[in-house]
């Protein structure tokens, strides 16, 4: 008999309830895109955090996932997705797969997802988790600051780590009218949206932010080309 049966608890039911509560909190914080809210309602965040953190999986806070990395707060993920304006079939590049939670949200929005993770252990774990959940996405282990030129241009690019300046290759790989969502800054950070208009990029500030730093440079690639 499972521990949940012994205690009279049904973890699956509790997780569903917690997801619904999280969706309501996101609404309260200004997220109005119904597709984004639905994605949060169906993607199990608890499957993407370490087991010791699962009781906090649906709190609206960032959580440590090991290797000096964190999974962003649901509000930050929701704002990023809402501001990226992703539609079914849009080709999207994710820089920083992490544990794969945002990857799964993007797939739930119907995007064709291309995701790059620099840390090998996180890449391997994300591959396994996404495969187990039946999430379709193309993942690669490598330096996300270089983008994924072979599959450019992208309708949206979402970056999960902060740099003093957004990497130039990401601007080059953005489609006309496409949107780059990226945290910028070192001590003080802000989450920005850049929208491509020909050779120009309109800049908007979404919110203040606190991300781990983006590491740029060589990383041994692994995964689909």
156: number of Cβ within 10 Å: 26
Residues comprising the chain, all counted: 225
Angstrom distance (rounded) from CA 106 to CA 90: 10
Distance, in Å, from the CA atom of 214 to the CA atom of 116, rounded to the nearest integer, reads 12
**Collapsed DSSP state (helix, strand, coil) of residue 128:** helix
Rounded Cα distance between 203 and 146, Å, is 21
Q: Rounded distance, CA 105 to CA 39, Å?
A: 6
Task: Determine the Cα–Cα distance for residues 22 and 18; give it in Å rounded to an integer.
Answer: 6
- The single residue of 72, 80, 115, 145 carrying the catalytic annotation is 72
47 neighbors 129 (Cβ within 8 angstroms): yes
73 is catalytic: no
Q: Which residues participate in catalysis according to the annotation?
A: 72
């Amino acid at each position: 008999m499972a521990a949940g049966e012994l205690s009279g608890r049904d973890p699956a039911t509790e997780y569903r309830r917690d997801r619904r509560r999280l969706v309501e909190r996101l609404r309260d914080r200004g997220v109005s895109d119904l597709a984004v809210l639905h994605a949060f309602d169906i993607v199990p965040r608890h499957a993407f955090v370490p087991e010791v953190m699962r009781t906090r999986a649906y709190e609206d806070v960032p959580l440590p996932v090991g290797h000096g990395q964190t999974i962003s707060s649901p509000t930050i993920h929701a704002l990023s997705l809402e501001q990226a304006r992703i539609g079914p079939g849009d080709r999207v590049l994710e820089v920083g797969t992490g544990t794969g939670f945002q990857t799964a949200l993007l797939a739930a929005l119907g995007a064709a997802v291309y995701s790059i993770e620099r840390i090998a252990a996180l890449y391997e774990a994300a591959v396994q988790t996404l495969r187990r959940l039946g999430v379709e996405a193309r993942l690669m282990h490598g330096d996300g600051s270089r983008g994924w030129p072979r599959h450019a241009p992208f309708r949206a690019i979402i970056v999960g780590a902060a740099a003093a300046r957004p990497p130039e290759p990401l601007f080059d790989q953005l489609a006309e009218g496409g949107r780059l969502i990226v945290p910028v800054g070192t001590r003080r950070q802000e989450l920005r949206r850049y929208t491509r208009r020909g050779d120009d990029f309109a800049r908007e500030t979404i919110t203040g932010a606190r991300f781990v730093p983006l590491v740029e440079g060589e990383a041994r690639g692994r995964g689909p080309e």
